[in-house]
Amino acid sequence: MKITVLGATGRTGKQLVEQALAAGHEVRAFVRNPAKLGLSHPRLELIQGELDDVGALERAVAGQDAVLSALGPVRGGRKDLMELAARNVTAAMKKAGVRRLITLTGAGVAQPGDEPKAFNRLMSFLLGVFAKDVQLDSTRHAEIVRASGLDWTIVRVPVLTDGPKTGKYRVGMVGINSGSRISRADVAHFMLEQLGSKEHVGRSPMVSY
C-alpha cells in the first residue's frame, strides 16, 4: 500500500517506517527535519513541513491509501499540537479523498466502552494533575478524529518501552483485557496490521501486554 507516516522521526514513528518498508509498503514520511529520520530506501519519500503548513500536508497525503500518525506531545512544544494535527490532517485527507486514518494516543484518553479499574483511575488523575495540557490536547485530538467521518482507528497505548517486536499483545479497552506496558515496536506492528483489516474501523482499542 501507499501510506503516509506522521511523526516519523519519533521512536514509534521510526518503527512504523522501518516495519512498513520491510512489509513492502511505499512510505511517504512527513517530517520537520529529514536528516533526523536517518533512513533511505527506494520506497521511502520524505516530505518536509510543519503541521500548520496545510499545503505540505496536502502534498503528503495526496494519492495515498492510508495515513498513520505516531505524533505525540513534545516537551516544550505547543500545547495544542495534537489538536492542530488532527484538524489539519483530517481536512487534508478529505480534500485528497483519502479515507483510512490510524492514529496513536495515550490510554488516558477515555472512550466509550472503557471500564477503568482503580489503577486506571489513579493514572488518569495523575495525568490531570501533572500533564493537564497534554491530556486535554490528546482528548481534543480524539474528538476531532471521531467526528471526521473518515475510516479511523484511534490506537491507545499505556507506558511505551523500547522492547522488541513480539507480535504478541492484547487488544482490549481500558480496564478490559489491558495491561500497563507495550513496546513501541509492537504498537507499530498493530497499527500496520490495521491496514488490511476493518475490525477496528471506528473504534479506539487499547493495545498492551
Residue-wise pLDDT tens digits, 190-203: 999 999 999 999 99
The confidence score (pLDDT) of residue 185 equals 98
Phi-psi region of 175 (alpha: psi -120 to 50; beta: other; left: phi over 0): left
The confidence score (pLDDT) of residue 39 equals 93
Q: Is 193 exposed, middle or buried (0-12, 13-18, 19+ CB in 10 A)?
A: middle
Separation between Cα atoms, residue 98 and residue 78, nearest integer Å: 27
Task: Give the cell for residue 205.
Answer: 482499542
The confidence score (pLDDT) of residue 74 equals 74
The confidence score (pLDDT) of residue 120 equals 67
pTM of the predicted model over 0.85: yes
Task: Give the cell for residue 102.
Answer: 490510524
* Strand extents, DSSP E, 26-163: 26-31, 44-48, 66-69, 100-106, 151-157, 159-161
Residue ranges in the chain modelled with pLDDT below 50: none
The confidence score (pLDDT) of residue 133 equals 82
The confidence score (pLDDT) of residue 31 equals 96
Whether the Cβ atoms of residue 93 and residue 65 lie closer than 8 Å to each other: no
The confidence score (pLDDT) of residue 132 equals 72
Separation between Cα atoms, residue 169 and residue 207, nearest integer Å: 7
